Amino acid sequence: MMGNSLQWAPIAIGISVALISGVVLLGAWWLLQRRWTQRRASALAARWAAGADAVIEHADDGAHRSRLSRALEAIGRALAPESQGNGEERQLLEQSGWRAPSAWWIFMGLRFALAALGLAVGALASVGSSGKGAPGWLLPVGGAIAGWLLPKLVLHAVAARRVARFRAELPLFVDLVGLLQSVGLSMEQSLYSLGQSRDQGLDVIGHELEEANRLVYAGRARMDAMDHIAACMHDDDFLELVSLLRQIERYGGDVSTSLKTFSERLHEKRRMALRERVGKITVKMTMVMVLTMLPALLLLTAGPGFLGILRSLERMGG
């Protein structure tokens, strides 16, 4: 048994090193992208305050990017054909908030780099475990596959978390739009104001509205830009809101009343979902209580009785 454990020790060490290295690189890439996004937003806000006409263009990220991101972009451009980036990866990157032209290349470069790292670590581990039960090709191939899949799994998790935050912010967004409408702002002014200030509890939606504002400055219609957000986030409630705003823009009507009705329906839908979630948690907690607290409760209540019966039987037998 000890010999078998020692045979698989290099395999475990190699996989652990590959995973730790991948997590470190992913964390560094995420921090760099987040820092670049914050710098770009600050720069655009300063340029807009100064009255610069170039605010409609995407800021050049070359001055703020590190050598690591540039190296990953170079790897991605050299090894990944551009035609493969028109599907799921680009959509996940958009849902994660990474819309820079170089984001997909950096992501693909990271996948190739981690795959090569996993291949190298697996090859080193297979040298130490050769002839000890595992095929020589298993570790390199497994390390390469793990390094290739890990970035996409992390990207899925980041995108799902951001979409969940988007949906959680939607009721507040509708209420704020209705509030701005009630004080006399137009729909265009309301959406622009919410896109420029993210300190209202609308971190994700504010970022999406900022991107929509750039599309509007570039010549697209406001509702088309909002449709782009709805298509990116795959949220039925936001798509319904965009349809409502489009109808109001085309046929007219009381915006405040329509938004208030939609907000009430949205809050009611959220309350129903919360009640359903609480009900599921209650059922799960009931099972936990039955499995954990019931044995202790039986010991506390029935324990003295059982002890009394045992003592009586001992006296009768003695």
**Is 303 within a domain?**
no
**Is 304 within a domain?**
no
**Is 311 within a domain?**
no
In a shared domain, residues 137 and 115? yes
Taking residue 271's Cβ as centre, other Cβ atoms within 10 Å add up to 10
Out of 131-140, 224-233, 288-297, pick the least confident.
Answer: 131-140
Taking residue 153's Cβ as centre, other Cβ atoms within 10 Å add up to 11
Asked if residues 206 and 68 have their Cβ atoms less than 8 Å apart, the reply is no
Q: Which residues contact 185 (CB under 8 A, 6 or more apart)?
A: 193
**Is 275 within a domain?**
no
Asked if residues 69 and 32 have their Cβ atoms less than 8 Å apart, the reply is yes
Helices (DSSP H) in 50-137: which residue ranges? 67-79, 88-95, 103-128
**Is 294 within a domain?**
no
Provide the residue type at 256 as one letter.
Answer: S
pLDDT tens-digit series, residues 163-221: 999 998 899 899 888 888 888 888 888 888 888 776 667 888 988 988 888 888 888 88
In a shared domain, residues 185 and 89? no
In a shared domain, residues 108 and 10? yes
In a shared domain, residues 65 and 189? no
Tell me, what's the pLDDT at 248?
Answer: 83
Q: Mutual orientation of helices 222-233 and 203-217 as an angle, nearest 10°?
A: 140
Would the pLDDT of 62 be above 80? no
Would the pLDDT of 61 be above 50? no
CA dihedral in degrees (268, 271, 277, 278; nearest 10)?
A: -140
pLDDT band at 56 (very low <50, low <70, confident <90, very high): very low
Closest by CA to 110, choosing from 25, 27, 229, 197, is: 25
In a shared domain, residues 145 and 179? no
**Is 204 within a domain?**
yes
Would the pLDDT of 161 be above 90? yes
Split into its structural domains, the chain has a count of 2
In a shared domain, residues 176 and 130? no
Instruction: Write out the residue range of the structural domain in which residue 101 sits.
Output: 2-161
pLDDT tens-digit series, residues 229-248: 888 888 888 999 998 888 88
Would the pLDDT of 253 be above 50? yes
In a shared domain, residues 131 and 75? yes
In a shared domain, residues 108 and 172? no
Last residue of a domain, one of 267, 285, 301: 267
Tell me, what's the pLDDT at 156?
Answer: 92
pLDDT band at 17 (very low <50, low <70, confident <90, very high): low
